[in-house]
Amino acid sequence: MAYINEHFLKLKAGYLFPEIGRRVNEFTQANPDKAPGLIRCGIGDVTEALPEAVIEALHAAVDEMGNRKTFRGYAPELGYEFLREAIAEHDYAARGMDISADEIFVSDGAKCDSANILDILGSQNRIAITDPVYPVYLDTNVMAGHTGPADDAGLFEGIIYLPCTDANDFVPAIPEEKADLIYLCYPNNPTGATATKAQLSAWVDYAKANDSIILYDAAYEAFIQDADVPHSIFEIEGARDCAIEFRSFSKNAGFTGTRCAFTVVPKGLAAKDAEGHDHSLHALWGRRVATKFNGTSYPIQRAAAAVYTEAGQTQVRSLIDHYMGNAKLLREAAANAGLEVFGGTNAPYIWVKTPNGTPSWDIFDKVLNEAAVVITPGAGFGTAGEGYFRISAFNSRANAEEVAQRIGAMAW
């Protein structure tokens, strides 16, 4: 008799974005006249074409695959040296961080990596997760059996929730409880907040004092505008002893449909077995990747490497400028409409307080019905997201301008 993994049954119905899709479908079928004018500012998906340098690299690599002399079969599971070296040099060494190429593991997505990392970590770890949060961190822990059931409010037993609200500038306070694994994401999805060096240092100190591991998601680092905002957890003294970092090409170079990302696991990073002996997480992750993954597509790795060329860097900057220009328009429109607005200055997300404490799914339906604009309800990211909604700046300029106008025209 085959058995299922029953932990899946604890998951709440519908992952956030499928539920949004369902409501949008209902709306467009009920309002065929409004459907053509619908503008999506919901899911954080990029809208602009891949940079030219990336396109050129893809074509060149495809041609290599069409010739048996230059054809490539299985890639090294951990990633090609040419890409790992480029990452180490440009994302780390250039910012004064000491991360070597063989501490970088190339993959097909930061979502996959931040989910799969649990494979190498024990089920007895106490998990701390910010609230609101990117749902993947929570759902993968539920699936892995690291939680009890959810209560009526949707909070899972055994999870240490770290509320992030305007009261703490969306950076969680250090908890009194001891957490073994702490998920942090800055610039933050969904709040668009950033963490200062001092705030991250406090977390690194906490992790070191407790032998905890910080799982740091820096997928949005390219959107940072302010010079003093850290781009990586490894800018913080001591982080090599307590942190794993997830990065992606999805949001900087527009790879959401192209798929490339990487994870940094410092060589000295260790966690314990039940008897208290240290084991290298770098070695365990290497074993996991070699056993359960077969490498990232060769043309895609060449495409990612092109992001680090001079042309690629210029083109990525222009993409970032485009989206951050949208963010400015949307931020100002919401503020001018009298709404309380956060984020959107070092991140492509604007986090908006709902007027008069309206529940966020109600605001979702209101904005959909009155403005034909899809936003993301804060409650979809966790209970502390209730009372907020997220506007994504990933759009064409024309759409961002139109959304700004519709936001201004709505009766909030």
Query: In the β-sheet with 243-248, what is the strand arrangement from edge to edge?
Result: 104-107, 261-264, 243-248, 213-217, 181-185, 127-131, 159-163
Residue 174 touches a copy of itself, criterion: CB under 8 A: no
Closest CA to 348 of 253, 252, 412: 252
Q: Which of residues 108-167 bind a copy of itself (CB under 8 A)?
A: 108-109, 111-112, 115-116, 119-125, 135-136, 139-140, 143
Residues constituting the chain: 412
CB of 158 to a copy of itself, least distance (A): 14
Q: Nearer Cβ to a copy of itself, position 293 or 412?
A: 293
Residue 5 touches a copy of itself, criterion: CB under 8 A: yes
CB of 400 to a copy of itself, least distance (A): 14
- Cβ(364)–Cβ(376) under 8 Å? yes
Q: Which of residues 57-116 bind a copy of itself (CB under 8 A)?
A: 58-59, 62-63, 65-68, 71-75, 108-109, 111-112, 115-116
- Please select the residue that binds a copy of itself; options are 147, 188, 191, 212, rule is CB under 8 A: 212
**Residue 115 token pair:** 């989910």
Q: How many angstroms separate the CA atoms of 126 and 27, rounded?
A: 41
Q: Nearer Cβ to a copy of itself, position 298 or 388?
A: 298
Q: Nearer Cβ to a copy of itself, position 3 or 167?
A: 3
Torsion of CA 299, 301, 303, 305, to 10 degrees: -140
* CB half-sphere exposure, 313, CA atoms < 13 A: 7
Look at the alpha carbons of 251, 388, 111, 257 in this order and tell me if their dihedral is positive or negative.
negative
Closest CA to 117 of 202, 278, 13, 244: 244
CB of 186 to a copy of itself, least distance (A): 20
CB of 22 to a copy of itself, least distance (A): 13
Stretch that binds a copy of itself, among 41-49, 148-156, 190-198, 365-373 (CB under 8 A): 41-49
Stretch that binds a copy of itself, among 43-51, 88-96, 231-239, 352-360 (CB under 8 A): 43-51
Residue 271 touches a copy of itself, criterion: CB under 8 A: yes
Q: Nearer Cβ to a copy of itself, position 29 or 123?
A: 123
Name every residue whose Cβ is closer than 8 Å to that of residue 279 and which is 6 or more positions away in sequence. 270, 271, 272, 273
- Cβ(16)–Cβ(135) under 8 Å? yes
Residue 257 touches a copy of itself, criterion: CB under 8 A: yes
351-366 burial, b at 16+ Cβ within 10 Å, e below that, comes to bbbbeeeeebbebbeb
Residue 298 touches a copy of itself, criterion: CB under 8 A: yes
Residue 181 touches a copy of itself, criterion: CB under 8 A: yes
Pairing of the two strands 376-377 and 341-343: unpaired
CB of 170 to a copy of itself, least distance (A): 24
CB of 232 to a copy of itself, least distance (A): 20
- Please select the residue that binds a copy of itself; options are 25, 30, 268, 279, rule is CB under 8 A: 279
Stretch that binds a copy of itself, among 93-101, 193-201, 283-291, 378-386 (CB under 8 A): 283-291
Give the single-character DSSP code of 167: G
Closest CA to 395 of 310, 322, 345: 322
Q: Which of residues 336-365 bind a copy of itself (CB under 8 A)?
A: none
Q: Nearer Cβ to a copy of itself, position 63 or 89?
A: 63
Residue 273 touches a copy of itself, criterion: CB under 8 A: yes
- Strand partners for 215: 183, 244
Residue 309 touches a copy of itself, criterion: CB under 8 A: no
Q: Nearer Cβ to a copy of itself, position 105 or 342?
A: 105
Residue 405 touches a copy of itself, criterion: CB under 8 A: no
Q: Nearer Cβ to a copy of itself, position 185 or 352?
A: 185
Q: How many angstroms separate the CA atoms of 309 and 313, rounded?
A: 6
